[in-house]
Structure 1
Amino acid sequence: MNPEKDFAPLTPNIVRALNDKLYEKRKVAALEIEKLVREFVAQNNTVQIKHVIQTLSQEFALSQHPHSRKGGLIGLAACSIALGKDSGLYLKELIEPVLTCFNDADSRLRYYACEALYNIVKVARGAVLPHFNVLFDGLSKRHSLRGARGVLSHTGLGRWFALAADPDPNVKSGSELLDRLLKDIVTESNKFDLVGFIPLLRERIYSNNQYARQFIISWFFPLHETESNKFDLVGFIPLLRERIYSNNQYARQFIISWILVLESVPDINLLDYLPEILDGLFQILGDNGKEIRKMCEVVLGEFLKEIKKNPSSVKFAEMANILVIHCQTTDDLIQLTAMCWMREFIQLAGRVMLPYSSGILTAVLPCLAYDDRKKSIKEVANVCNQSLMKLVTPEDDEPDELKPALQRQTEPNSEDSVAKQEGTASGGPDGSCDSSFGSGISVFTLVSTDRAPVTLNLDGIVQVLNCHLSDVAIGMMSRIAVLKWLYHLYIKTPRKMFRHTDSLLPILLQTLSDESDEVVLKDLEVLAEIASSPAGQTDEPSPADGPDLRVGHSELQVPTPSRASLLFLLNTPKNTKEVPAASSACVFKNEQHREARALNLRPM
């Protein structure tokens, strides 16, 4: 620092003391600065106040000399104390140089930066809220450790960390004091900009650092208690979404704590933004830390309660894919939680779930073959499967162009579905799931769930069922579930299903050779339904098929019983065991199928 330079209104003694290596001398200089600024406040001399702050910032706090930086920090804190309630007018100028010092390679200097910012915030209180995101960002973001000349020091080469996860215990302790102060201010304020805060919180929640995760989670609790009715939630969500993917344990804990806080605010409806952070929450649920997993379960449980209270405001469509993905994870806790959510999801949303059935079945069907080691997941998956199957009705066999008007008249909205399912929504097979996770979430589109036309994605469902039935590695219970689905679809939507008969017959015939009698019986039921279904049958004689066949106006064609029998025989190898007579009789029940029974069909 140039000793000849004019630092007025700071006296040479103040300047000399601010640059001293001894803390006590810098403290004396700070007291002098406080006295000087108080005089300017009394005189309403804003020009000189700004000049003092600018000098302390540019010439000291941002200096290349470490002792000068320390002097600048304590000087800025002294200015804030002297300004008192007027400090809010100068907060930007006071805060920015202090935050810059968070990057310093010197741990003592980072500690002094925490101390200075603590004093600035303590004086300003609620006036810092317009700058809250900047402060939160400084506490939670990853900093590069930089030396005096702004170059990465050897101690910080390539290393990044959140201030909340600072390796120095004194710095970490100082940041925790500052963090608690900010939470107190947010809690007591009615002007907290929640909308602006969410994007930052979302960003930081994905930190990999243990301390940063803990810091993020800790913020959710005070937000629960804030009295704010002006919190800028829209602006805050993008920040939360960005930070929620942090892998750091403490950053995750910090993020979770803030979500809990936001959930508890009566005037803030965080459910509107749940699709933006749900994926990150499920990733945090897989954290190695038991405490963080538990906190995340609490957060999900709070969301579940809100969803059950007001399902009509839940964006089911935007969350279905998230649940489908996490229902297929290898982490048992995540999979069980996601499956429990899916169960409540289907029961709460009702027929709104039908367009997304193929994805749900992709996640659910393999779980049905789990053994007792994953009994809880299997039981919840079975409820999901049964509940989803019940949603398919003969209405779904109507031509798509006729459905919108019909559905507007007959389709229940989300609230109706909740009322009907209320008795079963909380009584799943795994009681432990219900207390922490639970109800719905849903699907892929932004359309309103209570009035939007519902279309059954039959092509996608059949493709998934065909794929699972063709998979030799899939378990018996999953194969049975696939066949039950096919049978149900042929019963409820025969006309649409017969478009898929040609693609399904080969695998259905091949399944007759399955080693499980239960699978074979269920397969025969499906084949019998295909043969006996009225869909596609004709009304007039067809020259090609003989006097018993009729040609109608339908374009759909279905094999007659004799054709079905012929297909069975053509696909029958010579060295397979016969289908038991009792089994055949229980499937081909009516008169027109006796021909098939008489042929003594054998599986291929």
Structure 2
Amino acid sequence: MDETVAQGLANKIYEKRKSAAYELERVIKLESDDLKIQAIVRQLCTEFIGTADKPARSASGGLIGLAAATIALGKHSASYLDLIIPAVLSCFASQDSRIRYYSTESLYNIAKVAKGEVLLYFNEIFDMLCKVNLGSLFIYFSVAAKLNEKIKDIVSEKATSYVSLLHRNHRRNHEDTESDPDNNDDLDPDESIHDIRSTAFSLAKFMPLLSERLYVINPYTRTFLVSWITVLNSIPDLDLIVFLPDFLDGLMKYSSDIHQDVRIATARLLDSFLEEIKRTTNSNKPVRKTSRASFNDRLKTESTTLEESPDDDSDSQDSIQPYDVTVDFSRIIAILLNHISSADEAIQITALRWVSDFFAICPSNLLPFTPKLLRVVLPAISHESTALRRSARDVNDKLLRLIRGLIAGNGSEDENNLLNADLEELDFVNSATIQLLDEHEETRVSALGWLMELVKLAAKKSKEDLGLRAEILPALLKTLSDTSEAVVKKDLELLAQISKNDDYFNQLMVNLLTLFSSDRNLLEQRGSLIIRQLSLNLNAERIYKTLAENLEKETDLEFAQSIVQHLNNNLLTAPELSDARKRLRQLSSTEGSSFFTTLYRSWSHNAVATFSLCLLAQAYEHALNLLQVFAELEVSVQVLVQIDKLVQLLESPVFIYLRLQLLEPEKYPYLNKCLYGLLMLLPQTQAFHTLRNRLHSITTQSFAPSSKSSSSSSRLAKGSEIHWDNLLNRFRMLQNRQQAQGKIRRNWAE
């Protein structure tokens, strides 16, 4: 450039630098030699700006000169921007705030002229604007805000349609190829459109930068980023939603920002994305494509218009339609699940709300994530926050309804295919089972509910050997020791469901006895609840028969005596065992006699339990014989306590039939005798007086059996085929063993 102009641009006085810039603008407007113009631009970039250590007045002159050159070039500036814009952007790294100010002002003026052409450098400009917001000095913040708004305006108007003049010249070089029929046949229409027409702005190229920048903490930069995403999302046909998985993770973190304005802006933006997803999914719009012929016609029109009036903004109003919108739900769901595990409540609630809405939008996409969803949602069900608990329960309930619908056969073809996948591969079992260790009751109950659904899924698949029952059975048995009664009841309900299979029923009974034997506290504290709940959900008679058959082989006599006592107490009192009690009173039937005999052989470990079993079965004659054996044994305090409890039970509704039978001594002669015999065993305690008052309340009659009753008893014994002598001998044998072992235990204790 002219030496005078160069000196003016380097002058210490700003007004003289400004005058020199006006002169430079006039010179460039009159210059027709592209090489000369390029030399001037290079001189400004190297001699005036050059490196960061240039003095402020030199850099200022260079920046003003580049802005003046761009204004002078007007529509022809596109060819020089690859020199101009990098030079201007380099000044933003200067430590001198004045240089940063001039560079911002210069870039603003350049953008006003170049408009859509600056979109080729959008990433670099955006990155610079981020750093402006991070700066602690705000001398040039206002002009930076003006620049930011100018770039936003350009992006809003031209992002979806503007093709750089440089690219359009490249298109003209392809016109001959496109007009050749032979070459045209070799081109794929869709591919040629993308190759030839490349808009200056590219979301795909911008996303990595945006994703990286989102992980900042500075509230001003966060506000800046949210505002930019909002602008991009508002542009018709830009389809930012397609790239949502690329930046959703960073954006979600803003929900917990300590600054309210950041949280509010983020919430609004996330809501707009969610609503757009719903609209995109519900619209069922056809695939949107642009034909190659119409594209070429359109592009020619744009090119002509821009050459005539490069500053005309009309091209932004008629954008080319993009291709069909595809939302990557799987990537979005994966991101949301990670945020449900966040330590921040606001982020968790936001993520849960999105997942909840996805059940209506894309249930098939959620199914593969069910195991992980369980791992993050079940703990949240018991969160101390009411809002978070409500959100987690909502997601859990919707997921349950989805799975139950599939079990009922109400799913789509894709969903049913997922249902047929191997449960172990989907990791359902581990996801639910691990939650049984959670410290909160509600989470453990919900986890058991999910395991119940898994068992139903296994049945739906008609596969018995999935390994599912075998895998969860140990965990379920361990859960019986849970401190929560609600958890234990749910656990027992699931165990009952599993045990409807014969093999697992027998296995459960054996495991229960083993568990009670190893954990006597469990037997004392939960034994009654466990037996009653299982009897409620399974066949009580079958439970007792199976337990008795296994107890018959029990070698630990102390344990056998203890568990028989617990089983007998439930048999006498539990409403769930009423059918079993009725069966025992039917000794004349094969089923009744078999049930009685099976129980008797194990009940013989406990003398009082055996006696009460005979009373329950109305085997009064045999009960009287048992009392004779009692006389041969050493009646301990423990036995007397059990007799005391039995007397109290005789006053309960269960034994109404027995008390009424006392009125018919000629029909039940042995009943009176065995009750009087029981009375003779008792010391004169409250139980003694209770039983004596009951017996004295009836008319004294002869207790000798009549011939009619004797014959009836003989027929009963014969019809039921119960070998009473064998049972009595077994009772005597086991009681002798119990006493011998009791003496050994006492000796060891001493």
Alpha-carbon distance in structure 1 between the residues aligned to 2:355 and 2:508: 39
- Greater mean alpha carbon deviation, residues 102-111 or residues 237-246: 237-246
Indicate which of 2, 6, 10 corresponds to 1:10. Answer: 2
What is aligned with 2:90?
A: 100
Given candidates 474, 489, 497, the residue that maps to 2:439 is 474
Name the counterpart of 1:297: 267
Picking from 510, 519, 536, the partner of 1:586 is 536
The equivalent residue for 1:181 is: 150
Q: Is the 8 A contact 2:232 2:238 kept in 1?
A: yes
Q: 2:226, 2:266 within 8 Å by CA — same for their partners in 1? A: yes
Map of 1:215 onto structure 2: none
Name the CA distance, whole Å, in 2 between partners of 1:497 and 1:277: 44
Instruction: Indicate the SS of the match to 1:579.
Output: helix
Once the two structures are TM-superposed, the CA of residue 454 in structure 1 deviates from its matched residue by 5.6
Cα distance in 2 between the residues matched to 1:387 and 1:298: 25
Q: Which amino acid aligns with 2:2?
A: L
Deviation at 1:358, TM superposition (A): 1.2
Aligned equivalents of 1:242, 1:496: Cα separation in 2:
50
For residue 72 of structure 2, the aligned residue among 60, 66, 82 is 82
Residues 451, 579 of structure 1: CA spacing in aligned structure 2 closer, same or farther, 3 A cutoff?
A: closer
Residue aligning to 1:386: 397
Residues in 2 aligned to 1:338 and 1:249: alpha-carbon distance in whole angstroms: 21
- Tell me the amino acid that sits aligned with residue 326 of structure 1: H
1:437-452 equivalences in 2 (<5 Å) = none
Aligned partner letter, 1:96: P
- Of residues 279, 284, 294, the one that matches 2:254 is 284
Kept in 1, the 8 Å contact 2:92–2:103? The answer is yes
- Of residues 229, 234, 237, the one that matches 2:204 is 234
Secondary structure of 2:8's partner? helix
Q: 2:367, 2:418 within 8 Å by CA — same for their partners in 1?
A: no
Pick from 515, 530, 533: which aligns with 2:483?
515
How much has 1:593 moved relative to structure 2?
A: 4.1
Change (3 A) 1:356 1:315: same
Per the alignment, residue 335 of structure 1 pairs with: 348
Match of 1:412 in 2: 412
Question: Offset of 1:499 from its aligned partner?
Answer: 0.7
Q: For 2:30, which of 39, 47, 55 is the aligned residue? A: 39
Counterpart residue identity of residue 222, structure 2: R
Residue type of the alignment partner of 2:536? C
Amino acid in structure 1 at the alignment position of 2:28: V
Q: Give the aligned partner of residue 59 of structure 1.
A: 47
Q: Which amino acid in 1 is paired with 2:378?
A: L
* 1:256-299 residue CA offsets vs partner (Å, 9 max, x unmatched): 22222222223122222211111111122222221111111111
1:314 is paired with a residue whose SS is coil
Determine which of 147, 164, 169 is the counterpart of 2:138. 169
SS of 1:246 mapped into structure 2: coil
Task: Give deviations 1:533-587, integer Å, cap 9, x for gaps.
Answer: 3xxx6xxxxxxxxxxxxxxxxxxxx33x344222211101333223246534322
Distance of 1:86 and 1:34 partners within structure 2: 14
Give the number of the structure whose residues are more often helix, by fraction. Answer: 2
Is 1:131 the counterpart of 2:131? The answer is no
Matching of residue 30 in structure 1 with residue 21 in structure 2: yes
Greater displacement, 81-90 / 93-102: 81-90
Determine the structure 1 residue equivalent to 2:557.
Answer: none
1:82-137 Cα deviation digits (max 9, x unpaired): 22333233222222211111111111111111111111111222332233333223
Larger displacement relative to structure 2 (303-312 or 169-178): 303-312
CA contact (8 A) 2:64 2:102 kept: yes
Say which is worse superposed, 562-571 or 298-307, in terms of deviation: 562-571
Question: How far off is 1:411 after superposition?
Answer: 4.8
Q: Deviations over 1:436-469 (max 9, x none)?
A: xxxxxxxxxxxxx889856556221211222221
Larger Cα-atom Rg: 2
Question: Secondary structure at 2:397's aligned position in 1?
Answer: helix
TM-score, length basis structure 2: 0.57
Q: State the 1:323 CA deviation.
A: 1.3
- Aligned equivalents of 1:388, 1:395: Cα separation in 2: 11
Instruction: Say if 1:354 and 1:457, in contact at 8 Å, map to a contact too.
Output: no
Once residues 77 and 50 of structure 2 are traced to their aligned partners in structure 1, the CA distance between those partners, rounded to angstroms, is 20
1:269 aligns with 2:261: no
Match of 2:474 in 1: 506
- Pair 339,395 (structure 1): closer, same or farther in 2 beyond 3 Å: closer
Does residue 1:486 correspond to 2:431, yes or no? no
Measured in 2, the distance between the counterparts of 1:363 and 1:176 equals: 42
Deviations along 1:343-393, one digit per CA (max 9) or x if unpaired, are 12234322432222111011011112223xx11211221121122223335
**SS in structure 2 opposite 1:105?**
coil
Measure, in 2, the Cα distance between the counterparts of 1:134 and 1:523: 60
Q: Percent identity at matched positions?
A: 34
Residue 526 of structure 1: how far off its partner (Å): 1.0
Question: What is the rounded CA distance, in whole Å, between the counterparts of 1:450 and 1:76 in structure 2?
Answer: 61
Q: Is the 8 A contact 2:5 2:23 kept in 1?
A: yes
- The 8 Å contact of residues 156 and 235 in structure 2, kept in 1 or not, is answered as no
Aligned residue number for residue 574 of structure 1: 520
Summarize the Cα distance change of 1:592–1:230 in structure 2 as closer, same or farther, 3 Å threshold. farther
Aligned to 1:349: 362
Would the alpha carbon gap of residues 392 and 255 (structure 1) be closer, same or farther in structure 2, given more than 3 Å must change?
A: same
Unaligned runs of 5+ in 2: 164-197, 283-325, 549-563, 571-750
Alignment match, 1:322: 335
Runs of 4+ in structure 1 deviating by more than 6 angstroms, as ranges, are: 394-397, 449-452
The CA deviation at 1:328 is: 0.9
Task: Give the residue type in structure 2 aligned to 1:477.
Answer: E
Counterpart amino acid of residue 485 in structure 1: W
CA distance in 2, matches of 1:31, 1:253: 38
Report deviation, 1:193: 7.2
Shift of 1:139: 2.3
10 and 249 in structure 1: CA distance in 2 versus 1, 3 angstrom threshold: same
Partner SS for 2:362:
helix
CA deviation string 1:209-261 (max 9, x = no partner)? xxxxxxxxxxxxxxxxxxx9985333332332232222332222222222222
Aligned-residue Cα RMSD (Å) equals 3.0
Q: How many residues align?
A: 463
1:282-322 deviations in whole A, cap 9, x for unaligned? 12222222111111111110111012122374322122221
Whole-angstrom CA distance in 1 between matches of 2:417 and 2:476: 35
CA separation of 1:488 and 1:132: change in aligned 2, threshold 3 A? closer
Residue identity opposite 2:388 in structure 1? I
TM-score (structure 1 length as normaliser): 0.70
Task: Tell me if the contact between 1:193 and 1:233 (Cα under 8 Å) persists in the aligned partners.
Answer: no
Task: Look up the equivalent residue of 1:246 and give its one-letter code.
Answer: V
Amino acid at match of 1:314: V
- 2:215 is aligned with 1:245: yes
1:519 counterpart letter in structure 2: V
Structure 1 residue ranges without an equivalent (≥5)? 1-8, 141-161, 195-227, 398-406, 414-448, 538-557
Deviates more, 1:16-25 or 1:308-317: 308-317
Contact 2:63 2:102 in 1 (8 A): yes
**Distance (whole Å) between structure 2 residues aligned to residue 394 and residue 32 of structure 1:** 78
Distance 1:517 1:497 in 2: 31
